[in-house]
Structure 1
Amino acid sequence: MSDKGQSGATVDPGYGGARVEPTGWVGWIVFSGIMMVLLGFFQGIVGLVALFNDTYYLVTRSGLVLSVDYTVWGWVHLLLGVVALLAGFGVLVGQTWARVVGIILAVLSAIVNLAFLAAYPIWSTLIIAIDVLVIYALSVHGREVKEVYGA
Protein backbone atom coordinates (compact mmCIF):
# COMPACT_ATOMS: atom_id res chain seq x y z
CA MET A 1 0.00 0.00 0.00
CA SER A 2 1.43 3.36 -0.88
CA ASP A 3 0.91 6.80 0.63
CA LYS A 4 1.06 10.09 -1.22
CA GLY A 5 3.66 12.57 -0.19
CA GLN A 6 3.33 16.35 -0.37
CA SER A 7 4.74 16.65 -3.90
CA GLY A 8 2.37 14.09 -5.43
CA ALA A 9 5.04 11.39 -5.24
CA THR A 10 4.14 8.14 -3.58
CA VAL A 11 5.88 6.50 -0.67
CA ASP A 12 6.12 2.82 -1.49
CA PRO A 13 6.96 0.39 1.30
CA GLY A 14 8.23 -2.03 -1.36
CA TYR A 15 11.08 0.39 -2.01
CA GLY A 16 12.05 0.65 1.67
CA GLY A 17 9.75 3.63 2.20
CA ALA A 18 11.54 5.66 -0.46
CA ARG A 19 9.58 8.11 -2.55
CA VAL A 20 8.81 7.05 -6.09
CA GLU A 21 8.78 10.18 -8.23
CA PRO A 22 6.64 10.05 -11.36
CA THR A 23 8.53 10.53 -14.58
CA GLY A 24 7.56 12.44 -17.70
CA TRP A 25 5.99 9.24 -19.01
CA VAL A 26 2.90 9.94 -16.90
CA GLY A 27 2.10 12.62 -19.46
CA TRP A 28 2.21 9.98 -22.21
CA ILE A 29 -0.25 7.83 -20.30
CA VAL A 30 -2.61 10.75 -19.80
CA PHE A 31 -2.16 11.49 -23.51
CA SER A 32 -3.04 7.90 -24.39
CA GLY A 33 -6.12 8.00 -22.17
CA ILE A 34 -7.31 11.21 -23.80
CA MET A 35 -6.52 9.82 -27.25
CA MET A 36 -8.52 6.68 -26.44
CA VAL A 37 -11.50 8.85 -25.50
CA LEU A 38 -11.02 10.81 -28.73
CA LEU A 39 -10.61 7.60 -30.76
CA GLY A 40 -13.81 6.34 -29.19
CA PHE A 41 -15.64 9.39 -30.50
CA PHE A 42 -13.96 9.08 -33.91
CA GLN A 43 -14.84 5.40 -34.22
CA GLY A 44 -18.39 6.20 -33.15
CA ILE A 45 -18.70 8.90 -35.82
CA VAL A 46 -17.39 6.55 -38.51
CA GLY A 47 -19.81 3.89 -37.29
CA LEU A 48 -22.79 6.24 -37.38
CA VAL A 49 -21.87 7.47 -40.86
CA ALA A 50 -21.59 3.87 -42.08
CA LEU A 51 -24.98 3.07 -40.56
CA PHE A 52 -26.86 6.09 -41.86
CA ASN A 53 -25.10 7.11 -45.10
CA ASP A 54 -23.22 4.24 -46.72
CA THR A 55 -22.88 6.18 -50.00
CA TYR A 56 -20.47 8.56 -48.24
CA TYR A 57 -17.46 6.26 -48.65
CA LEU A 58 -15.16 6.06 -51.68
CA VAL A 59 -15.83 2.45 -52.66
CA THR A 60 -18.73 0.05 -52.55
CA ARG A 61 -18.66 -2.88 -50.18
CA SER A 62 -17.11 -5.05 -52.90
CA GLY A 63 -14.09 -2.71 -52.98
CA LEU A 64 -13.23 -3.33 -49.32
CA VAL A 65 -10.70 -5.87 -48.13
CA LEU A 66 -13.56 -7.80 -46.56
CA SER A 67 -16.70 -7.68 -48.66
CA VAL A 68 -19.03 -6.82 -45.78
CA ASP A 69 -22.01 -4.49 -45.82
CA TYR A 70 -21.40 -0.99 -44.44
CA THR A 71 -24.04 -1.64 -41.79
CA VAL A 72 -21.80 -4.34 -40.32
CA TRP A 73 -18.79 -2.00 -40.51
CA GLY A 74 -20.89 0.66 -38.80
CA TRP A 75 -21.71 -1.61 -35.86
CA VAL A 76 -18.09 -2.77 -35.57
CA HIS A 77 -16.81 0.82 -35.49
CA LEU A 78 -19.54 1.89 -33.08
CA LEU A 79 -18.81 -0.98 -30.68
CA LEU A 80 -15.05 -0.30 -30.82
CA GLY A 81 -15.79 3.36 -30.15
CA VAL A 82 -17.91 2.79 -27.07
CA VAL A 83 -15.45 0.34 -25.51
CA ALA A 84 -12.47 2.62 -26.33
CA LEU A 85 -14.27 5.56 -24.74
CA LEU A 86 -14.87 3.63 -21.51
CA ALA A 87 -11.34 2.21 -21.44
CA GLY A 88 -9.91 5.70 -22.07
CA PHE A 89 -11.60 7.00 -18.94
CA GLY A 90 -10.30 3.94 -17.07
CA VAL A 91 -6.74 4.69 -18.22
CA LEU A 92 -7.07 8.28 -17.00
CA VAL A 93 -7.83 7.06 -13.47
CA GLY A 94 -5.05 4.44 -13.53
CA GLN A 95 -7.03 1.20 -13.85
CA THR A 96 -4.94 -1.79 -14.89
CA TRP A 97 -7.84 -3.46 -16.72
CA ALA A 98 -8.23 -0.31 -18.82
CA ARG A 99 -4.58 -0.45 -19.93
CA VAL A 100 -4.95 -4.06 -21.02
CA VAL A 101 -8.27 -3.37 -22.76
CA GLY A 102 -6.77 -0.23 -24.31
CA ILE A 103 -3.88 -2.13 -25.87
CA ILE A 104 -6.19 -4.85 -27.17
CA LEU A 105 -8.61 -2.26 -28.57
CA ALA A 106 -5.86 -0.25 -30.22
CA VAL A 107 -4.60 -3.40 -31.95
CA LEU A 108 -8.14 -4.31 -33.06
CA SER A 109 -8.80 -0.74 -34.17
CA ALA A 110 -5.63 -0.73 -36.29
CA ILE A 111 -6.62 -4.02 -37.92
CA VAL A 112 -10.20 -2.88 -38.57
CA ASN A 113 -9.00 0.42 -40.02
CA LEU A 114 -6.47 -1.40 -42.19
CA ALA A 115 -9.33 -3.44 -43.63
CA PHE A 116 -11.38 -0.21 -44.01
CA LEU A 117 -8.50 1.62 -45.76
CA ALA A 118 -10.02 1.53 -49.27
CA ALA A 119 -13.21 3.21 -48.08
CA TYR A 120 -11.61 6.13 -46.28
CA PRO A 121 -7.79 6.11 -46.72
CA ILE A 122 -6.67 9.31 -44.98
CA TRP A 123 -8.95 8.84 -41.99
CA SER A 124 -7.96 5.19 -41.56
CA THR A 125 -4.24 6.02 -41.81
CA LEU A 126 -4.56 8.70 -39.11
CA ILE A 127 -6.46 6.36 -36.81
CA ILE A 128 -3.83 3.62 -37.28
CA ALA A 129 -1.04 6.10 -36.42
CA ILE A 130 -2.87 7.18 -33.26
CA ASP A 131 -3.45 3.52 -32.36
CA VAL A 132 0.30 2.88 -32.55
CA LEU A 133 0.99 5.82 -30.21
CA VAL A 134 -1.62 4.56 -27.75
CA ILE A 135 -0.15 1.04 -27.77
CA TYR A 136 3.34 2.44 -27.16
CA ALA A 137 2.31 4.71 -24.29
CA LEU A 138 0.16 2.11 -22.53
CA SER A 139 2.68 -0.70 -22.81
CA VAL A 140 5.77 1.22 -21.70
CA HIS A 141 4.90 3.14 -18.52
CA GLY A 142 1.23 2.59 -17.76
CA ARG A 143 1.81 1.67 -14.12
CA GLU A 144 3.01 5.16 -13.22
CA VAL A 145 -0.46 6.68 -13.49
CA LYS A 146 -1.70 4.30 -10.84
CA GLU A 147 1.23 5.25 -8.59
CA VAL A 148 0.62 8.98 -9.03
CA TYR A 149 -3.18 9.04 -8.75
CA GLY A 150 -3.49 6.13 -6.34
CA ALA A 151 -6.33 4.43 -8.19
Structure 2
Amino acid sequence: MAEERSRAWAGWIAFAAVIMIVNSLINILQGMVALLDDERVLATPDGFVLVDITSWGWALVIFGGVMLIVGGFLLIGQSWARYAAVVVISLHAVAQVVSIGAYPFWTLLMIALDTVVLFGLIARWEPAAEELRYQNDRVGPAGLTNGEFPHEAPSHGTRIS
Protein backbone atom coordinates (compact mmCIF):
# COMPACT_ATOMS: atom_id res chain seq x y z
CA MET A 1 0.00 0.00 0.00
CA ALA A 2 2.78 2.46 0.91
CA GLU A 3 4.59 1.54 -2.31
CA GLU A 4 1.49 2.38 -4.36
CA ARG A 5 1.19 5.74 -2.61
CA SER A 6 4.83 6.61 -3.27
CA ARG A 7 4.36 5.70 -6.94
CA ALA A 8 1.30 7.95 -7.09
CA TRP A 9 3.20 10.83 -5.52
CA ALA A 10 6.13 10.18 -7.87
CA GLY A 11 3.58 10.73 -10.62
CA TRP A 12 2.72 14.09 -9.07
CA ILE A 13 6.38 15.08 -9.10
CA ALA A 14 6.74 13.99 -12.72
CA PHE A 15 3.55 15.93 -13.55
CA ALA A 16 4.94 19.03 -11.81
CA ALA A 17 8.21 18.72 -13.72
CA VAL A 18 6.48 18.30 -17.09
CA ILE A 19 4.17 21.26 -16.42
CA MET A 20 7.23 23.33 -15.48
CA ILE A 21 8.93 22.34 -18.72
CA VAL A 22 5.83 23.14 -20.79
CA ASN A 23 5.40 26.49 -19.02
CA SER A 24 9.06 27.27 -19.62
CA LEU A 25 8.75 26.55 -23.34
CA ILE A 26 5.66 28.79 -23.51
CA ASN A 27 7.54 31.55 -21.68
CA ILE A 28 10.51 31.21 -24.02
CA LEU A 29 8.22 31.32 -27.07
CA GLN A 30 6.37 34.40 -25.77
CA GLY A 31 9.69 36.05 -24.97
CA MET A 32 11.08 35.33 -28.43
CA VAL A 33 7.96 36.81 -30.04
CA ALA A 34 8.34 39.91 -27.90
CA LEU A 35 12.03 40.20 -28.83
CA LEU A 36 11.84 39.39 -32.54
CA ASP A 37 8.49 40.84 -33.55
CA ASP A 38 7.29 43.28 -30.93
CA GLU A 39 4.46 44.47 -33.18
CA ARG A 40 2.71 41.13 -32.56
CA VAL A 41 2.56 41.80 -28.82
CA LEU A 42 -0.57 43.70 -27.86
CA ALA A 43 -0.03 45.81 -24.77
CA THR A 44 -2.28 48.62 -23.69
CA PRO A 45 -1.06 51.10 -21.09
CA ASP A 46 -4.07 50.55 -18.84
CA GLY A 47 -4.19 46.74 -19.08
CA PHE A 48 -0.56 45.73 -18.82
CA VAL A 49 2.05 46.74 -16.26
CA LEU A 50 5.05 46.99 -18.53
CA VAL A 51 8.13 49.13 -18.81
CA ASP A 52 9.44 47.90 -22.14
CA ILE A 53 8.50 45.07 -24.54
CA THR A 54 12.17 44.14 -25.03
CA SER A 55 12.76 43.90 -21.28
CA TRP A 56 9.62 41.79 -20.90
CA GLY A 57 10.81 39.52 -23.72
CA TRP A 58 14.22 38.99 -22.15
CA ALA A 59 12.66 38.36 -18.75
CA LEU A 60 10.41 35.67 -20.25
CA VAL A 61 13.27 34.00 -22.11
CA ILE A 62 15.58 33.97 -19.07
CA PHE A 63 12.85 32.90 -16.67
CA GLY A 64 11.74 30.21 -19.12
CA GLY A 65 15.30 28.92 -19.35
CA VAL A 66 15.60 28.69 -15.58
CA MET A 67 12.25 26.87 -15.38
CA LEU A 68 13.37 24.46 -18.11
CA ILE A 69 16.60 23.57 -16.31
CA VAL A 70 14.96 23.18 -12.90
CA GLY A 71 12.09 21.16 -14.40
CA GLY A 72 14.55 18.81 -16.10
CA PHE A 73 16.45 18.16 -12.87
CA LEU A 74 13.17 17.76 -11.02
CA LEU A 75 12.10 15.11 -13.51
CA ILE A 76 15.14 12.99 -12.65
CA GLY A 77 14.43 13.30 -8.93
CA GLN A 78 17.13 15.71 -7.74
CA SER A 79 16.26 16.89 -4.23
CA TRP A 80 17.78 20.35 -4.65
CA ALA A 81 15.54 20.89 -7.69
CA ARG A 82 12.49 20.64 -5.45
CA TYR A 83 13.52 23.70 -3.45
CA ALA A 84 14.54 25.59 -6.58
CA ALA A 85 11.26 24.65 -8.26
CA VAL A 86 9.20 25.87 -5.30
CA VAL A 87 10.97 29.24 -5.49
CA VAL A 88 10.77 29.47 -9.29
CA ILE A 89 7.10 28.46 -9.48
CA SER A 90 6.19 30.84 -6.65
CA LEU A 91 7.93 33.69 -8.45
CA HIS A 92 6.20 32.67 -11.69
CA ALA A 93 2.78 32.83 -10.01
CA VAL A 94 3.53 36.25 -8.51
CA ALA A 95 4.90 37.55 -11.83
CA GLN A 96 1.68 36.54 -13.57
CA VAL A 97 -0.11 39.33 -11.72
CA VAL A 98 1.69 41.80 -13.99
CA SER A 99 -0.31 40.64 -17.01
CA ILE A 100 -3.70 40.01 -15.39
CA GLY A 101 -5.21 43.19 -16.88
CA ALA A 102 -4.16 42.27 -20.42
CA TYR A 103 -4.65 38.50 -20.30
CA PRO A 104 -7.01 37.64 -17.42
CA PHE A 105 -7.95 34.10 -18.52
CA TRP A 106 -4.37 33.13 -19.37
CA THR A 107 -3.04 34.61 -16.14
CA LEU A 108 -5.58 32.78 -13.99
CA LEU A 109 -4.81 29.54 -15.84
CA MET A 110 -1.07 29.96 -15.20
CA ILE A 111 -1.64 30.73 -11.52
CA ALA A 112 -3.88 27.65 -11.21
CA LEU A 113 -1.24 25.43 -12.87
CA ASP A 114 1.45 26.92 -10.64
CA THR A 115 -0.70 26.08 -7.61
CA VAL A 116 -1.10 22.47 -8.74
CA VAL A 117 2.64 22.22 -9.37
CA LEU A 118 3.37 23.59 -5.88
CA PHE A 119 1.04 20.98 -4.41
CA GLY A 120 2.89 18.23 -6.28
CA LEU A 121 6.23 19.55 -5.03
CA ILE A 122 5.35 20.12 -1.40
CA ALA A 123 3.09 17.19 -0.46
CA ARG A 124 4.79 13.89 0.39
CA TRP A 125 8.14 14.63 -1.19
CA GLU A 126 10.53 12.07 0.35
CA PRO A 127 8.85 8.75 -0.52
CA ALA A 128 7.85 10.08 -3.91
CA ALA A 129 11.32 11.38 -4.77
CA GLU A 130 12.82 8.05 -3.72
CA GLU A 131 10.39 6.22 -6.02
CA LEU A 132 11.15 8.62 -8.88
CA ARG A 133 14.90 8.09 -8.49
CA TYR A 134 14.32 4.31 -8.37
CA GLN A 135 12.27 4.46 -11.58
CA ASN A 136 14.96 6.55 -13.31
CA ASP A 137 17.66 4.08 -12.29
CA ARG A 138 15.59 1.07 -13.37
CA VAL A 139 14.28 2.41 -16.66
CA GLY A 140 16.66 3.23 -19.46
CA PRO A 141 16.28 5.31 -22.61
CA ALA A 142 12.89 5.28 -24.32
CA GLY A 143 11.27 3.56 -21.34
CA LEU A 144 13.13 0.27 -21.86
CA THR A 145 14.02 -1.59 -18.69
CA ASN A 146 17.63 -2.58 -18.17
CA GLY A 147 18.52 -5.57 -20.31
CA GLU A 148 16.16 -4.60 -23.14
CA PHE A 149 18.28 -1.96 -24.83
CA PRO A 150 17.97 -1.90 -28.62
CA HIS A 151 21.62 -2.88 -29.19
CA GLU A 152 21.04 -6.12 -27.32
CA ALA A 153 19.24 -9.00 -28.96
CA PRO A 154 15.96 -9.63 -27.15
CA SER A 155 15.48 -13.09 -25.77
CA HIS A 156 12.80 -15.31 -27.29
CA GLY A 157 9.35 -14.29 -26.20
CA THR A 158 10.48 -10.78 -25.19
CA ARG A 159 8.76 -8.08 -27.15
CA ILE A 160 10.05 -4.55 -27.21
CA SER A 161 7.26 -2.10 -27.83
TM-score bin (small chain): 0.7 to 0.9
- Structure 1 outlier segments of 4+, above 4 Å: none
Q: Match for 2:10: what amino acid?
A: V
Offset of 1:98 from its aligned partner? 0.8
**Residues 97-133 of structure 1, C-alpha deviations (whole Å, 9 max, x = no match):** 1111111111111111111222333322221111111
The one of 10, 17, 21 aligned to 2:3: 21
1:28 deviates by 0.8
Q: Is the 8 A contact 1:64 1:115 kept in 2?
A: no
Residue 77 in 1 paired to residue 60 in 2? yes
Gaps (5+ residues) in structure 2? 138-161
Post-superposition offset of 1:64? 4.8
Question: How many residues of Structure 1 are paired with residues of Structure 2 in the alignment?
Answer: 132
2: distance between equivalents of 1:113 and 1:82? 17
Structure 1 residue runs without a partner (length 5+):
1-19
Does the aligned pair in 2 maintain the 1:51–1:75 contact within 8 Å?
yes
Query: Matched residues, percent identical?
Result: 33
Separation in structure 1 between the aligned mates of residue 127 and residue 55 of structure 2, nearest angstrom: 38
**45 and 128 in structure 1: CA distance in 2 versus 1, 3 angstrom threshold:** same
CA drift at 1:71: 1.0
Structure with max Cα Rg: 2
Normalising by structure 2, report the TM-score. Answer: 0.72
Question: In 2, distance between residues paired with 1:63 and 1:139?
Answer: 36
